[in-house]
Amino acid sequence: MEALLAYGFLQRAFLAGVSIAVACAVLGLFLILRRDAMIGHGLSHIAFAGVALGLFLNILPLAAALAVSAVAAVGMIKLKDRAGLHGDTAIGILSSLGMAVGILLASLARSFNVELMAYLFGDILAIEPLEVGLTAGLAAAVLLVVSLNYAKILFMTFDRESARVAGVRVARLDMLLMVLTAVTVVLGMKVVGILLVAALIVIPAAAGLQVASRFKTAVWVSTATAVLSVVLGLILAVEINIPAAAAIVILCFLVFGLATLLKVMRLRAAPKV
Amino acid sequence: MDLVGVRSVSFSYGGPPVLVGIDFAIRDGDFLALIGPNGSGKTTLIRIILGLLKPSSGSIEIMGRPSGEFTDWRRIGYIPQKATHVDPFFPASVEEVVAMALMSNRKAWGSAGRGEILRVLRQVGMEEFRKSPIGRLSGGQQQRVFIARALVTAPRILFLDEPTTGVDAETQASFYDLLDLLNEREGITIVLVTHDIGIVNKHVTQVACVNQKLVYHGSHGDFCRSEVFRDMVTRGDHLIAHEH
Ligand SMILES: Nc1ncnc2c1ncn2[C@@H]1O[C@H](COP(=O)(O)OP(=O)(O)O)[C@@H](O)[C@H]1O
Ligand SMILES: [Mg+2]
């Protein structure tokens, strides 16, 4: 293992992977409690359109995906608020549209190639230094923004009306949360791929929610699950040559399974009064 | 002094009018019961007062200022009607629930905030539950925690929207005693929305009766002698028949 760490590509993979894991784990908690768990899924499909657009226009795919997803995230909120659409309906519509546009652009650009595959399935071991810097920096920004607004976001997640009366700007924080999620999804794309980035947002947070009775505990369990899965998944990928993204998601799921078992056992031992 | 002025407020959600020409004031120190049957517009009126809905016409004044210019919202406590529907698995301890309000309002928090949280939890008799998950408490206990959350920012006025729905009679009585205490000892103005006028007998000083219009507004004593009250009694209104 020590020998492995001597490789630059592995150091980069660990750094990018852990950054993404922490950001996903924290955002995922709020999203699940807001009943917005599928937003990661929706945005990842839209990010696909962004990547295809980047390849089509021959600009940095990550930048194109970032712009497209952020716009779509704001659009989803507007659809929900203005048009009175249910959140999951808005996600259903925009995610299919994203996929359709992505496929169209990719075929026009004749770029159904290795590069597109890397975005679809993740290719963390091939991540470039610039992308690592971007990922770590933006993940740090996500964490900073969330920790500065932690109480407010928790308040409005728990009781939106009271939070509004107490002066929490809920509409602004909604927007902020969506844009942060969009950024995280786009960055997570390179780690586990478009198809699995939603898993990194939902599964570790769900594991945390299974066992925690305090919010702080949920944050720690979720973060630990995501980080552990990414680190172990990467090691497995290198050592026994399996796809890193698949290993990461399956590991997340195993922790979730354990957490669920724990919860069921606890509920049995101490029935609710 | 008037804490809240409701000035000829009318409102509709886009369909038929829900509130028409509501005009009254809430004075500092009042314990006001806002009563009316289901669907009479009580919740809507509270949400208009709190700035969550804009009136179709008329205006709201809070502490002498138009509500649009009022900024010190920490002085206003609100416990919404649906606060009783807590997700049983929401991962927050009682302490964390109270802290939400404190940390949302103050940039810095720490040991000072912690002392404050313990103080308000003691005040509502929930200190020993401070580590408990909010979702595992009974409805009555949750309401006390929400009051503590409102108290932590030292409010002048508390709005409670049907806080005792689904709570047994005994718990309800001790809950009203707590409101009494806050009103008399702490001087906090209380606005209690209810469709249960049993409570009116014991605790409140003022009664406002809403049913699209303001049917009655005055002191508790006058209310009991009023025609509105007599009508309710003789009609066997569900306001009275309401038992848990
Ligand atoms: N969001 C809404 N959209 C449309 N109509 C509503 C909405 N909320 C309440 N109403 C209607 O407004 C009336 C008053 O409701 P409400 O203020 O909740 O009454 P109360 O709290 O006295 O039971 C009812 O007829 C109700 O159906
Ligand atoms: Mg109501």
Sort strands B31-35 and B17-27 into parallel, antiparallel or unpaired. Answer: unpaired
CB nearest B80 (choices: A159, A167, A216): A159
Average pLDDT value for residue range B18-35: 94
Q: Give the model's pLDDT for residue B101.
A: 87
CB nearest B74 (choices: A150, A166, A208): A166
Higher confidence at residue B138 or residue B233? B138
CATH at residue A192: 1.10.3470.10
- Kindly report, residue by residue over A131-150, the tens digit of the pLDDT: 888 889 988 998 898 888 88
Q: Give the model's pLDDT for residue A86.
A: 73
| Euclidean distance between CA atoms B159 and B162, whole angstroms | 10
Under 8 Å between Cβ of B19 and B41: yes
User: By percentage, how much of chain A surpasses pLDDT 90?
Assistant: 43
Lowest mean pLDDT, pick from A170-174, B106-110, B150-154: B106-110
Give the orientation angle of helix A39-57 with respect to helix A8-33, to 10 degrees: 130
Q: Give the model's pLDDT for residue B158.
A: 96
Higher confidence at residue B83 or residue B38? B38
Q: Give the model's pLDDT for residue B92.
A: 94
Q: Give the model's pLDDT for residue B84.
A: 62
What domains are defined for chain B?
2-84+155-235 (3.40.50.300)
Higher confidence at residue A192 or residue A85? A192
Higher confidence at residue B236 or residue B72? B72
The answer for B149, left when phi > 0, alpha when psi is -120 to 50, beta otherwise, is alpha
Label residue A81 by pLDDT band (50, 70, 90): confident
Backbone angles phi, psi at B219, to 5 degrees: -75, 160
In a domain, A231, yes or no: yes
Q: What is the pTM of this model?
A: 0.88
Q: Give the model's pLDDT for residue B77.
A: 93
Tell whether ligand 1 has an atom less than 6 A from the beta carbon of residue B84.
Answer: no
Sort strands B157-161 and B213-219 into parallel, antiparallel or unpaired. Answer: unpaired
- Asked if residue B83 has pLDDT above 70, the reply is no
Label residue A164 by pLDDT band (50, 70, 90): very high
- Asked if residue A116 has pLDDT above 90, the reply is no
3-state secondary structure of B200: helix
- Asked if residue B239 has pLDDT above 50, the reply is no
Per the prediction, chain A carries an average pLDDT of 87
In a domain, A220, yes or no: yes
B102 and chain A in contact, CB less than 8 A: yes
Do the Cβ atoms of B91 and A167 come within 8 Å?
A: no
- Asked if residue A78 has pLDDT above 90, the reply is no
With a cut of 0.90, is the ipTM above it?
Answer: no
Backbone angles phi, psi at B79, to 5 degrees: -120, 100
CA neighbor of B212 nearest in space, from B97, B70, B45: B45
Under 8 Å between Cβ of A157 and A219: no
Domains in chain A: how many in total? 1
- Kindly report, residue by residue over A8-28, the tens digit of the pLDDT: 788 888 999 999 999 999 999
In a domain, A273, yes or no: no
In a domain, A272, yes or no: no
- Asked if residue B240 has pLDDT above 50, the reply is no
Note down the domain range covering A108. Answer: 4-265
A25 and chain B in contact, CB less than 8 A: no
Under 8 Å between Cβ of B190 and B33: no
Q: Give the model's pLDDT for residue B94.
A: 95
- Kindly report, residue by residue over A209-236, the tens digit of the pLDDT: 999 989 999 999 999 999 999 999 999 9
| Euclidean distance between CA atoms B23 and B10, whole angstroms | 9
Which residue has its alpha carbon closest to ligand 1 atom 25?
A: B39
